[in-house]
Amino acid sequence: MRSDANTFTLPARVLHWLMAAMILAMLFIGVGMVASVSERHEWLLRIHKPLGIAILILAVLRLAVRLRHPPPALPVDLPAAQKLAAHASHWLLYGLMFALPLVGWGMLSAAGNPIVLIGSFHLPPILPHDKALYAILRPAHTVLAYLLFVTFLAHLGAALTHALVFKDGVFRSMVK
Ligand code: HEM
Ligand code: HEM
């Protein structure tokens, strides 16, 4: 059982829920985008790029908060395998929060076209113009997005199990 005082800090909780909403929106915008043509595709892509870069910036902030304030310890009676799974999946989620925007930005850099972020503001390329590299990064963006979605589903399942079955304070530590 985790005690009530044993919660994530306010900045950690705000960042967690804000980013959860942004990342979920991005997954659906991404899928909607590749399933649409013409105007709707362009419109969704105009949201996808700045939202993705905002996620990258917030991920840097979140990692800094995380390193400064270690999270509350998991309940002592939680089996070691579950603790390991929790830690591994959290670090995987952190890794994907960085990897997806960077691969998105990198693939557009490798494609060699100007990367319009908002209005006349362009992102600088972070990789050289290279078609072979683009051919690797474009599918990598898709695979990483699916991996993020699957990890999120496992995370959601675990969070709800802690909240509704174990009732051990793990869920509460992220909501208050
Ligand atoms: C957390 C951040 C991100 C998530 C979750 C995400 C997710 C997705 C998903 C689910 C797709 C559609 C699946 C597919 O590729 O077939 C997609 C496509 C795409 N994403 Fe992202 N993305 C992110 C960040 C970015 C960033 C920062 C950029 C560029 C600066 C970007 C550029 C693109 C482009 C250009 C496409 C393909 C559009 C097309 O071919 O029509 N993404 N993304
Ligand atoms: C895409 C969406 C989400 C992402 C990327 C995400 C990511 C994360 C990460 C990285 C942590 C570890 C925090 C740390 O150690 O600094 C965490 C913890 C947590 N998340 Fe999420 N999360 C998401 C959605 C959700 C949702 C929808 C729920 C609840 C229904 C939830 C509940 C929790 C809880 C309860 C914890 C605390 C776990 C613990 O005590 O160690 N998360 N999340």
Task: Tell me what the mean pLDDT of segment 131-138 comes to.
Answer: 98
Q: 155: helix, coil or strand?
A: helix
Cα–Cα distance list, 75 to 72, 99, 155, 170 (Å): 9, 30, 17, 8
- Ligand 1 atom closest to the Cα of residue 34 is 41
Q: Shortest CA distance to 152 belongs to which of 49, 13, 26, 20?
A: 20
Q: How far is ligand 1, taken at its centre, from the CA of residue 44, in Å?
A: 10
Ligand 2 neighbour 10 (Cβ under 6 A) = no
State the pTM of this model: 0.94
Please give the DSSP secondary-structure letter assigned to residue 118.
E
pLDDT at residue 19, rounded to an integer: 98
Split at pLDDT 50, 70, 90, the class of 3 is low
16 CA from centroid of ligand 2 (Å):
6
Give per-residue pLDDT as tens, 47-70: 999 999 999 999 999 999 999 999
Ligand 2 atom, smallest distance to 172 CA: 35
Q: Residue range 67-77: average pLDDT?
A: 94
